[in-house]
Structure formats: C-alpha cells, structure tokens
Amino acid sequence: MNESLKIGGLALQSPVWLAPMAGYTDLPFRVGIRSLGGLGLAFTEMLSPETLLHGRPSSVNSLVATGPEDQPLGYQVYGKDPDLVARAAKWVEARGAALVDINMGCPQKQLSAKGRGAGLLRTPDLAVRIAQRVRESVRIPLTVKLRLGWDNTETAAELAVRFEELGVDAVTVHGRTRAQGFSGTVNLDAIRKVVESVKRIPVIANGDVVSVATAREMFERTKCAGIMLGREPLKNPWLIRDIARDLRGEAPLPPPAIVERVEFMTQHFERMLAFSGEAVAVIRFRKWIRLYLRGIPIERALLARLMQITTAADWRREVPRALGGA
C-alpha cells in the first residue's frame, strides 16, 4: 500500500483522510486533528450551491473558513442541477480550494428523496452530467464521494468507471447502500469491486474504520489507495496519526494521557471561541465535551452541570477539572 497518494496534480503526504461531517469538521476541529499528524486531506462539510452563491456572507464565510494551518482542504458541494453545482465548484476553486468533491452519498431523507446526495445514485445519467459539468468548469482535482448504491451494491462500480472516463480524479466509497443508512456492516467486497472496476484512479474506502486493525483490514481486503475516517476520530482524534504511523511501519505510540486529552480539548475550545464567539461556542462545544469524555467516568450530575455552562470563564474553570486534567 502507498504511504503517499496523488489525486490529479495534488500530492498528499498520507493516504488517510478525514471525512466531511456536517456540524463537526469545521476549522477549529480540523486544525486540531491536523496538529497531531498523519492526515492527508480534510474536507469542509457539504455545501449547497444556493448557500455558497446566495447565502448570508457571514454564514458562508464561517462554512468555508480555512487558513495556512488547514491545508490541503477539499470543499464538498452537493446538488442535482448540473449548472448550479458547477457554479458552486467554480466558486470554491476561486476561493482557493485544493480540491472539489461532489456529495453523492448523503442518505438524509430531505436531500436524497429529492434527488440530491445519495438520491443521485437512482439517476446515474444525471450524476454523470453533474460530474461532467463540474469537470468542464474547474481545473482543480475533482473527486466524488458516493455510497455503494441506492438499494443495491453495484451502482458505485458502474458510476466510478464513467467518472474516470470523464476526468474525475478519485472516488471515495462508503461501503453501505443508501437503504442501510448507518446500520449493518460495511461491505468490503463491494468496495473492492469498485477498486477493480476502474483503470487507474485511486479509490478511497470509507466506513467503520475504528482502529489500526480495521484500517489494515480495509486496505488489505479492498486494495484501496486510501481510507477516509468519519465518526471515530471525533472521539479519538489520535487515531489518524496512529494509522499513518502503522502504514509507515513505525512503532505504535502510547495512547494520550488524560492531561494530553484535556489540553487538546481545551485548545479546541479556545479555537472555537475565537471562531464563533462566546455565546455560540459554549453551546456548540457541548457535544464535543461528551465526545472527549469517552472512557472517562463522570457522575451524571456533574455532566448535567457541564452541559449548562454558558460562559468561557466557567468552562475554563470547570471542564478541564471534570475530565481530570487540572
């Protein structure tokens, strides 16, 4: 397996990617996880053309915020109107995106039932037209992220062949169908069929990588060129570093001590504070407290109190202590 990876003209230092995740993979989190090392590519959350082209500038700026410490960054767009998606892709290219990705995998009903996201797996010709229009409109590398199929496991392989022919530079496959949602297991054989169906473009495998062992299994069983991790790094941001070390044949590092975890979380909070302002940051960070608390025993009453904190001063006084780091 490759330790590095090239997507179109973009050389990545690692084949381990962080998945786009709406509400989570924003600038404050991405900067933190990148600082741990091992990450080849991260993404914005999925962005609608309507928002990018006509949204309130402050909301748009927050969705696409990035900086030198957050590179390379892929911007993910979604939609079902080829011209609109292409305009959105041009917009993100002008904004400095290293790569643009088209979402053809989101199973959420509001999107997929209306033919967007994974809904495009039911209209493969339209999916191809969208990718084609985007390809004609931008010069930066273009990738597509998709599920195996709407309710079958073959569409991804068929589409990947057509995408490759029209100049898509890589595809990412979440090894579940739209019908599965997040249930059941990831179908590694079906991802492998996608890998075998294309001639030369890299296939990035996604779904249920939760450890160094499952990362190895994903590479070995699917023969993918890279892997993308979503949910697990939210709970264990060190996992991407650990997998990248394993790929390079380096010895595993000990898991981070509690003080290190608390320090990482605190820096994440401080970045979110600077990014969103106090009122929003303390509320938005509540879901992260739960994630960072994983594996740390804490009384229910204390957790309830942490969830009611409304000022940065209280946060700094109470949260690190509750996690055992101060």
Ligand X SMILES: Cc1cc2nc3c(=O)[nH]c(=O)nc-3n(C[C@H](O)[C@H](O)[C@H](O)COP(=O)(O)O)c2cc1C
Stretch that binds ligand X, among 17-25, 160-168, 255-263, 267-275 (CB under 6 A): 17-25
Stretch that binds ligand X, among 15-23, 50-58, 154-162, 298-306 (CB under 6 A): 15-23
When the beta carbons of 101 and 262 are compared against ligand X, the nearer one is 101
101 forms beta bridges with 76, 143
Give the chain's length.
326
* 3-state DSSP assignment of residue 311: coil
- Which residue's Cβ lies closest to ligand X? 230
Among 112, 137, 206, 236, binds ligand X (CB under 6 A): 206
Asked if 208 is part of the footprint of ligand X (rule: CB under 6 A), the reply reads: yes
When the beta carbons of 21 and 298 are compared against ligand X, the nearer one is 21
Among 133, 145, 193, 241, binds ligand X (CB under 6 A): 145
Among 141, 230, 320, 325, binds ligand X (CB under 6 A): 230
Q: Which residue pairs, CB below 8 angstroms and at least 24 apart, start in 207-216? A: 207/174, 207/175, 207/176, 208/175, 209/243, 210/239, 211/239, 212/239, 212/242, 212/243, 212/246, 212/252, 215/16, 215/243, 215/246, 215/247, 216/246
Asked if 79 is part of the footprint of ligand X (rule: CB under 6 A), the reply reads: no
Select which of 41, 99, 106, 306 is catalytic: 106
Active site residue 224: no
Question: Of 105, 131, 130, nearest to 119 (Cα)?
Answer: 105
At residue 296, φ and ψ (nearest 5 deg) are -105, 115
Q: Which two tokens stand for residue 153?
A: 């496991």
Asked if 119 is part of the footprint of ligand X (rule: CB under 6 A), the reply reads: no
Q: Which residues contact 175 (CB under 8 A, 6 or more apart)?
A: 148, 186, 187, 188, 190, 191, 205, 206, 207, 208, 222
Among 14, 103, 236, 266, binds ligand X (CB under 6 A): 103
Asked if 19 is part of the footprint of ligand X (rule: CB under 6 A), the reply reads: yes
Asked if 171 is part of the footprint of ligand X (rule: CB under 6 A), the reply reads: no
- Site residues, ligand X (CB under 6 A): 19-24, 45-46, 76, 103, 105-106, 145, 174, 206-209, 229-232
